[in-house]
Amino acid sequence: MNPILEWLRGGDLRSDGLANEVADIVLENPSLFDEVIAGLDENDEVIRGRTGDALEKIARVKPELLHNHLPKIIRIAEKDTVPMVKMHLAMILGHLAIYEESIDDLTTCLLRLLKDESVFTKSWAIVSLCIIARKYPQKRNRIIERITVYGMDDSIAIRTKVRKALNLLTNDEVPFPKGWIKSEHIKGL
């Protein structure tokens, strides 16, 4: 295990550990990025969860570092069993919406994540799909159609998220709710 990942181990997933510090180090030294993304391949769920957290914070500022690893991010988002990993990867996919050439892959993965058992994963998949729908209006109808189904979800949180998402996607004057946009490069949608 590389030294950066040592910072992400120990304890349990109720704590972010040193994910913020790892993100800050990589933002200052992007050459260390490969050491961090390697954490997604670790057997330790805590390391994978905190790696996802650190990567999401990196993607807010330097999405280009993650875009080069999009196939891996999508593969892990669809197969990992840890909700914290999937939630952060769903958030990352929204940060990567600036890359038009990747929109079909991003959209397909996020639509699959809507079926996840985790409320957090579903919730962030909805947010990221809203980012895509606002940025690429040609995707809007398909996304609205797929999100609408979750208006009857068992989770009140998901039903509320869907209601806000549909309002956002059917009225261009409605701003994104506070906390939905975490990247400077996609603010203003």
What DSSP letter does each residue of 57-123 carry, written as one string?
A: HHHHH-HHHHHTTHHHHHHHHHH---HHHHHHHHHHHHHGGG-GGGHHHHHHHHHHHTT-S-HHHHH
Count of H helices and E strands in the chain? Answer: 11, 0
Helix, strand, coil shares, percent, the chain, to 5: 75, 0, 25
Query: What pLDDT does 58 receive?
Result: 98
Token pair belonging to 24? 């800050």
Q: Which residue has the higher pLDDT, 72 or 16?
A: 72
In this predicted structure, what is the pLDDT of residue 16?
82
For 88, counting Cβ atoms within 10 Å of its Cβ (0-12 exposed, 13-18 middle, 19+ buried), the class is buried
CATH number of 3-186: 1.25.10.10
pLDDT, tens only, 159-188: 999 999 999 999 999 999 999 999 988 887
Which of the four pLDDT bands, split at 50, 70 and 90, describes residue 88? Answer: very high
Give the pTM. 0.95
pLDDT at 63 over 90: yes
Parse the chain into domains and list their residue ranges.
Answer: 3-186
